[in-house]
Structure 1
Amino acid sequence: MPSSRSGHRDFLPLLPYLPHRPSIDMHVAHFVHRSAQRWPDRPLWLGLDFQISYREGSRRLNRIARQLLQRGQPGDRVAILSANRFEAFEIYLAAINAGMAAVPLNPKLHALEHAYMIADSGAAFVVFSPEHAASLDIVRADLPLVRHWVEMTHEPAAGTLPYADLLVGEDDSLPDVVIEPDTLAWLFYTSGTTGKPKGAMETHRNLVTMVQQFLLGILRDANEFDVMLHTAPIAHGTASVGLAHLAVGAAQTFPTSANFDPRHIFELIEKLQITSSFLAPTMVQMLLDHPARTSHDLTTLKNVVYGGGPMYVELLKQALQAFGPVFHQIYGQGEAPMTCAAMPKWEVNVGDGASATKLRRLASAGREMPGVRLRIVDDEDRDVPPGQPGEIVVRSDLVMTGYWNRPEASEETLRGGWLHTGDVGHLDEEGYLYITDRKKDLIISGGSNIYPREVEEVLLAHPAVSEACVIGVPDPKWGEAVKAFVVMREGSEVTETELIAFCLSRMASYKKPKSVERVAALPKSAYGKVLKRELRDRFWTGKEQRV
C-alpha cells in the first residue's frame, strides 16, 4: 500500500485496466508556478477593477494549499460549488497543489444531485459561493463526512469558514507534498445511463497530456499576452482550456453576470481585450443573435474553442463571418478530456469558394490528436472500414484510470485498454471523424449532457404515469431539447404543465422536458424494448445529427 502522501491510494485497484505507464515529474499546479517564474508581473486573475499577478497568484495557491493541509491530508477530495468567479478556479488549483483532488460541481444541478456527488466522492471539504449557501443548507445535515465547509464571503454562517481564512499565514512556499503522475487531480462527475452519476478519475498525467495536446494541436499561438474569458462554470470544459492558457502565462477572467449575458460578454471582450474563450455552440448562437454584437470591437479574439454539443454547419459559417477565423472544434468527454480529436481554426476557416470536400468536413469533429489512437469498432471490438459506423474507442494518456468506486463500470468501459466512448460515428479515408449518434442515448442541450433514463425515472415517479420515454429533438437555440412521451395510467389525468413542474421539483431545470406528448402506447420490439429510433425519426429525418 502506498503512503497517504501519494494521494492516489483510493483508485490503485483500477490501474490494471490500463497498460503500465512510466513516471513523469509534472503536475497541473506547476503550470502556475512555472508561469510565475517566467512572467511574474503578468496578470493571472483579471477583472474590470482588479488584477492579481502570477507572482502573487502562485503565492496564494501555496497559502491555500497549506491551510487545506492543516485541516486535511493529501488525497482528500475538495468539492467546489460556485458561481463564475476566479476563486472557484483558484481553489481548484490550490486543492491540486496540496495533492488533493478537486471535485467541481455543476451549479445548474439540483441540491439533491450536489449532495449525491459530495457524498459519493467522500469530500472532506466543500467550498462554495454565497449563491449556493441556501441550497447546501438543505442537504448539509445529510453529509456527515464533510469536515469543513468554506464560503467565499467574509461573514459566513456559523460552522462555516470564510474563504479568507485559507489565505492566512506567512509561509507561501510550495507545500512539501509528493504528487505522482497518476495521483488523482480531478473527479469529474458524468451522468450515467443507469441513473446515478459516475466520477471519472482524471489524473495529473491525463490533464498534463491534455494541455500538451491543446498546445501542440490547436492553440499554437497562445502566449503570455492572451486573456482568456471563462463563460462557463469550471465544472465544464472551460477549466480544461484554462489550464492550457495557464501553461503559457495567459490571464484568466470571469464575467460578473450570473447568467450568460451576450451584452456583458461583448463589453468584456472590448474592455479587457479578450483573446480566447471556450464556448458551447448554444453560446455562439446567442452571441450571433444579439443586436449589441455590431456595436463592440471584437477584433482581439483569436482562439475560441467550441464543443460540448452540435455546431451545425450553417451556424459555423455565420460565426466565421461575424467573428473571423478563430474557431477550433474539439471532441472529448469526461473520461478522456477535451482533446481526443480536433479541427483547428486553419481547417475550420475554409474561406469562400471552398471545395465540397472541405465544406463537408465542417460537419466533422476533426482528426485524432497527437498522442491519441482513435478507432471505430463493431460490437465485437473489431475495426470497421472507413465510412461504416461503429462505436468510437480511444487509447491515450488522456484516458481516465476508471470510475470512482465503480470497478465493474470501469472494467466494462476500459475493456482491452481502450476507452469505449458510447458515441457512434465513422471515419473517412483521411481520418476525419463524423459523430452521428449516441450509443447511450445521450441528449446534449445547450452544451449540457442529459441522459434520458434519469428524466424517465422522475416521470415514472408520478402516480399518473404508466410508461415514459425521453428523447432529444432538434432545437434551433439549444441544439437539442428534451421531449417526453408518456402513457397514462387508466383513469388518471395530468397536464403537460403539471408533469414538467413535477420534474422541475426533482431535478435541475435544464434536464426537465420542454414538451410532453401523451401516447396510447410506446413502440416496442419483440423483446419489449422501447424503440426510441421510431420516436426520433419524425423529428430528425433530413436533419444533421452531430455531437
Structure 2
Amino acid sequence: MNVGAFLTKAARLHPAKIAVADGGIRLRCDEMNARAAAFAAGLSLRGYAPGDRVVLFMPNRADYLVALFGLFKGGFVAVPANAKLHASELGFIVGHCGARAVVCSEKSRAVVAAALAGLPGVDQIDADGAGAGSFAAVVEGGRPQAAADAEVAPDDLAWIFYTSGTTGRPKGAMLSHRNLSAMTMNALADVCDFQPEDVVLHVAPLSHGSGLYALPSIARGATNLIAGGSFDPDECLRTIARERVTIIAFLAPTMIHMLLEADPALKVPELRRVPYGGAPIDPGLAEAAIARFGPVFAQLYGQGESPMTITGLRPQDHRGRALLSAGTVRTDVEVRLVDEAGGPVPEGAEGEICVRGEVVMRGYWNDPAADAKALKAGWLHTGDIGRFEDGYLYLLSRMNDVIISGGSNIYPREIEDVLMLHPAVREVCVFGEPDGKWGESVTAAVVAAAPVGADELQEFCRRHIASFKKPKRIAFVEALPKNAYGKIVRREVKAALSGG
C-alpha cells in the first residue's frame, strides 16, 4: 500500500476535520489531501518520475507535511534533512542521493543555495516564494491533473533517512512503503492509539521522529499542530493548554528536562501521551516528569534503520529498575543478542542487539559495504550492546562511539575531520561526556601544532558543521594514547579526561 493512502482515507472519513494547523493556517483533511495530490501531480508535469528523490529542508511548518504526503502519493522518495545542517552537510546528502530537488523555506534559502552551488540541475522549490519554481506554483500547476495515489510495490522506496556512523559521512537508510506501514501499525498498537479527537503537537523536527509519527496521526484523522522555531518550554505548555493538546508527537529527554523547568503554574490536564526517545533518560528525570504531568510517557528505542520500533517502555512500565531499561520488545519485531561471531549469547549475557521484522530498512542507499555489515541473514545489526533481564532490554554501550546530545546523534569522526583541517591542530580525539541536561556533550582532546585557543577552534567548527555538533569543551594535551598500530585509543582518552 502507498502510505499516502493514510491521508486519502482520512480525507474520505473526516473531510471537514482539521488535519494540520500552523499559526493562522488551518487545512482540513480534504484540503490537505487535495493540496498534497496537486503537489505530486505538479512534480509529474515537470518531468519528475516515481522513485525520484526530493529533499525536504525547512523548519516545521504545515507545508512540510503537505510535501511529505505529496511525495508519497506520487511515488517519489522523500529525503527529510535536519534544518540545522551546514551547507556542506546538506550538499553531501543532495549529491549522494541524486536528488532532483530541494524544498526549502525563506529561512533556509541561503544554505540551500550554497549547498547546490556545485550541483547543477537540482531544482530549488521555495515554499515561501511565488515564482514559477515555487511550491505554490507546483501545487497550482498540478491541481487540474491531480489523480489517485500512485501504484507502488510494498518494497518501493518512500523515505531515505540519513543516519551515520563513526566512519564519517552519513548513510541513507532506505525505508519502503512496507517499512513505514509497519512502523505506523506498531505505533498504533504499542505506543499510542491516535484518534480523530486527538490534537497532536509537533515541537521536535519533522525531519526525524516527529515527522515519522505524523503518519499514524494522519492515518487516524487527528489534528497535527505545528510548532516551529526553537523549543520554548513555557510557550509549549501554554500552547498545549490553549489548543487542548492531547499528544506530543515526540520529545527528546532534553526537552522533557526543559519542560520541568517551565512555570509550575502552567497546567496541561488533557495531555494523555508523550512518546520520547533518542537518548537514555535519567530515572530521576522520568520520576519528576511523571509526578508533574502524570503517567503519560512512552519510551522508544529504535534507529533510522528500524524507525521508532525496536523496544519501548509503556506508561505503566515507568517504575523501579525498569526505568533504567530500554523496555520490552515491540509486538511486531524480533530481537536477539549475538556475540562477535554472530552466534546467540546465553540468557542474561550481553551481546549486540539485532532486529528482524517488516520495519527493518531495505538497506543503505548506494552503500553495499555498509549493507553487508548491517544486514545479515535478514537481521539488522544495530551496533548497540545490550542485555535482557526479565524481558527488559538494558543498553550497555555503543559499539560505534556515537555521542547522543539532546536527542541528536553526533559522530566523533566527523568533528575530528573538521578540526584536523585547522593548521594549528596536530592530532585530535572526540568523545562524549555525561551532561545532566543534554545527556552527553561533545569534548575534543587536541594536540596542538601551534598556539591556538579553544574559542578559535570552536568557531572554526561552527563554520564547517552544524553548530550543535561543535565541541562544548576542548582539552589541550601533550599526546594521545595509541595502540601498537598507531591508532588513537579513544576509551583511554576519555578515561583520562573525564573519568570514564
Letter aligned with residue 507 of structure 1: I
Looking at structure 1, the residues matched to 118 and 191 of structure 2 have their Cα atoms a distance apart, in angstroms, of 45
Contact 2:41 2:143 in 1 (8 A): no
Looking at structure 2, the residues matched to 501 and 202 of structure 1 have their Cα atoms a distance apart, in angstroms, of 36
**Aligned residue in 2 for 1:28:** 3
The percent of aligned pairs where both chains have the same amino acid is 42
1:307 counterpart = 2:266: no
Looking at structure 2, the residues matched to 494 and 530 of structure 1 have their Cα atoms a distance apart, in angstroms, of 22
Q: 2:337 aligns with which of 371, 376, 392?
A: 376
Looking at structure 2, the residues matched to 191 and 471 of structure 1 have their Cα atoms a distance apart, in angstroms, of 16
Contact 1:524 1:530 in 2 (8 A): yes
**Aligned residue in 1 for 2:392:** 432
Q: Deviations over 1:330-372 (max 9, x none)?
A: 1110111011111111222x3xxxxxxxx11111111111121
1:191 counterpart = 2:151: no
1:262 counterpart = 2:199: no
**Aligned residue in 1 for 2:462:** 504
Q: Deviations over 1:18-59 (max 9, x none)?
A: xxxxxxxx2211111111122222110124434211122111
Q: Deviations over 1:366-419 (max 9, x none)?
A: 111112111111110111123322211111111111110101111221022211
**Aligned residue in 2 for 1:386:** 347
Structure 1: gaps spanning 5 or more residues: 1-25, 351-358, 543-547
TM-fit CA distance, 1:458? 1.1
**Aligned residue in 1 for 2:294:** 324
Looking at structure 1, the residues matched to 236 and 203 of structure 2 have their Cα atoms a distance apart, in angstroms, of 8
**Aligned residue in 2 for 1:228:** 200
1:522 counterpart = 2:480: yes
TM-fit CA distance, 1:160? 3.7
**Aligned residue in 2 for 1:442:** 402
More off after superposition, 397-406 vs 160-169: 160-169
1:414 counterpart = 2:364: no
Matched residue of 1:398: which SS? coil
TM-fit CA distance, 1:173? 4.9
Looking at structure 2, the residues matched to 320 and 436 of structure 1 have their Cα atoms a distance apart, in angstroms, of 25
Looking at structure 2, the residues matched to 360 and 537 of structure 1 have their Cα atoms a distance apart, in angstroms, of 27
Letter aligned with residue 282 of structure 1: T
Structure 2: gaps spanning 5 or more residues: none
**Aligned residue in 2 for 1:143:** 119
Looking at structure 1, the residues matched to 418 and 128 of structure 2 have their Cα atoms a distance apart, in angstroms, of 35
The CA RMSD measured in Å over matched residues stands at 1.7
**Aligned residue in 2 for 1:126:** 102
Q: 1:74 aligns with which of 37, 50, 53?
A: 50
Looking at structure 1, the residues matched to 142 and 168 of structure 2 have their Cα atoms a distance apart, in angstroms, of 44
1:153 counterpart = 2:123: no
Aligned pairs for 1:228-377 (under 5 A) are: 228-256=200-228, 258-277=229-248, 278-290=250-262, 292=263, 294-348=264-318, 350=319, 359-377=320-338
Letter aligned with residue 503 of structure 1: C
Letter aligned with residue 390 of structure 1: G
Count of residue pairs the alignment pairs up: 498
Contact 2:165 2:400 in 1 (8 A): no
Contact 1:229 1:274 in 2 (8 A): yes
Looking at structure 1, the residues matched to 186 and 107 of structure 2 have their Cα atoms a distance apart, in angstroms, of 35
Letter aligned with residue 339 of structure 1: T
Looking at structure 1, the residues matched to 89 and 136 of structure 2 have their Cα atoms a distance apart, in angstroms, of 24
Looking at structure 2, the residues matched to 435 and 178 of structure 1 have their Cα atoms a distance apart, in angstroms, of 40
Q: 1:474 aligns with which of 434, 445, 456?
A: 434
**Aligned residue in 2 for 1:207:** 180
Looking at structure 1, the residues matched to 379 and 71 of structure 2 have their Cα atoms a distance apart, in angstroms, of 29
Letter aligned with residue 185 of structure 2: Q
Matched residue of 1:362: which SS? helix
**Aligned residue in 2 for 1:178:** 151
Q: Deviations over 1:211-258 (max 9, x none)?
A: 1111111213x21011111111211111111111111111101114x2
TM-score using structure 1 length? 0.88
